[in-house]
Chain A
Amino acid sequence: MIKITNLSKAFGELEVLKDISLQIADQETVVILGPSGSGKSTLLRCLNGLEELTEGSIEVSGLVVDAKDSLKKRKKIIQKIRRNTGMVFQQYNLYPHKTALENVMEALIVVKKMDKREARLKSEEMLGKVGLLDRKDFYPSKLSGGQQQRVAIARALAMEPDVLFFDEPTSALDPELVGEVLRVMRTLAREGMTMIVVTHEMKFAQDVADRVIFMADGCIEEDTKSEVFFSQPSSERAKKFIKQITEHVHGE
C-alpha cells in the first residue's frame, strides 16, 4: 500500500505540490492525469525519492519517509523503498553501454547480489515477457523507442517490485509505437501489478485504470473511479481538460 500524507513540494519559491494526501491499495492501477505543470511527475518522483519532500510524509511498502526525518535516515529509507519499487521513464533511460539483457541484469547483480547465471535466467524471462527475448543482445541504440521502453519495463519488473511507477511512458514515442508499450502495461495491470501511471493516453486511462486522479496546480482536483471520471467529471477543470483532450484526438 502507498500512503501520502500532507505532502508538499516546492522548488524554491515555486510550490509544485500543495498538501497532497492520498492512498493507493495493492493491485490498483491508478492513472494520474492533468495539464502539464500540474505536478503529476513530481508526485511520482517523490514516491521513490528522486525528489526530496518539502513537507509531509510518504509510506511505500511499509517504509515511511517524513520530511522531518534527518537526511541520513531519509536516505537510508529511500534506498530501501527503491529496492521495492520500479520506475519507467519518459526517455527510457536505458544504459547505452549495455545490451538489452545487461540492462535488465544490472540491478539484479549489483543491488540484489544475484549470481550472474541466475540473473541472466531471470532477465531472459523478463525480456520474454515483454516480447523481446530475440533482441537481448542488442544495444539500445539498435532498438526502436517502443522496444527500448519495453526493455525498460523488463528492467523494472526484474526487481520484483511491489509497485511500478510510469512517468509518461509513451510521450516520447512515435504514435505507431505507443501500442506495443501500452499492451505490455495492460497485461501487467491484468496480472495484478500495482501501478501508478502518469500519462496523456486517455484510452489507457479509460480502459485499464481502476482509478483516475486528476491534478491541477499542485492539488488533487478529482479522485474517482475511472468510469466516473470520464462520464461525470465533477470539477470544471476536469470537464475542460477532458473536452480539450478529446477534441485534440478527433482533430476538431
Chain B
Amino acid sequence: MDLVIQNLGFLAKGAYYTLLITVVSMFFGLVIGLLVALSRLKGNRLFQWIAKCYVSIIRGTPALVQIIIVYYGLVDFGITIGPLTAAFVALSVNVGAFLSETFRGAIQSIPKGQMEAAYATGMTPWQTMRRIILPQATKIAIPPMGNTFIGMLKETSLVSVITVNELLRSAQLLVAQYYVYLPFYLSIAAMYWIMSTVFSSILNSVEKRLSKYD
C-alpha cells in the first residue's frame, strides 16, 4: 500500500491521460457520429453507402486492431503520428461508429408528425432537424450514449499497447519496477471505477435536465 501512495503522482498522471483520451475521443466521436447518422438518414446514395461501410467495418473489427493499424500501419503511407494522436484518432473513429448507430436510432424514433408539423409552418429540413428533431433525439440517445462512453473509458486501456502512458500502462510500469502486482492493479481498477461513476452521474443529471418536459 505504501508503494501505491508513494507512486500516486505517477498513477494520477496515468489517470489524467486516460481521462484526456476519453474526453477528446468522445468529443470527436460525437461529431463523427452525428455526421455519419445524418449522412445515413438524409444523405444521397454515395454518402449513405460510405456511412454504412464505415459503421460496418469499425463495428466488425476489434478496437485493438484498429489502434495498431492507425499507429503502426499509417507509417507505411508516410504518415507518422505520435502515440497519443494515434490514440485520439483510433478511438474517435471507433466510438463515432457506435454513436452514429445510437443517433440514427434516436432520430428515427421521433414521430414523423414532429417533422410534418415543423415543415407545415415553413421550416426547412435543416431548421427542423436542428430545432425540433435533434433536441428530442438527444434525450433519447443519452442512456445508450452513457454506455458507449463508459465502454470507451475502459477501452482507453487498449492504447497501452502503443506506449501511451495511460492508467493501465502506468500500473504496468510500476509493476515492472517493484515486482508487486495486486496493489497497483487494484488501485487502478478503483480509479477506473471512480471515473465511470462520475461519468454516469454527469450523464444522469444531463438526462434529468432534458426530461423537464415529460
Contacts and interface: CB of A to CB of B under 8 A. Distances in A.
Interface of A: 48-50, 79, 82-83, 85-87, 89, 91, 93-99, 106-107, 110-111, 139-141, 152, 155-156, 159
Q: Chain B binding site: helix, strand, loop or mixed by DSSP?
A: helix
A95 B116 contact: no
A180 B123 CA distance: 28
Interface stretch (B74-82, B131-139, B143-151): B131-139
B114 interface: yes
B124 interface: yes
Nearest to B121: A107
Contact of B131 (A87, A89, A110): A110
A48 B117 CA distance: 11
B179 interface: no
Contacts of B1: none
Nearest to A103: B117
Smallest CB-CB A-B distances: 7 pairs: A107-B121, A93-B117, A93-B113, A83-B122, A87-B120, A139-B213, A111-B122
B49 interface: no
A169 B170 CA distance: 65
B16 interface: no
22 contacts: A48-B120, A49-B119, A50-B119, A82-B119, A82-B120, A87-B120, A91-B111, A93-B117, A95-B117, A96-B213, A97-B139, A98-B213, A106-B123, A107-B118, A107-B122, A111-B121, A111-B127, A139-B213, A140-B213, A141-B213, A141-B214, A156-B121
Give the most central of A97, A99, A107, A152: most B CB within 10 Å.
Answer: A97
Contacts of B131: 106, 110
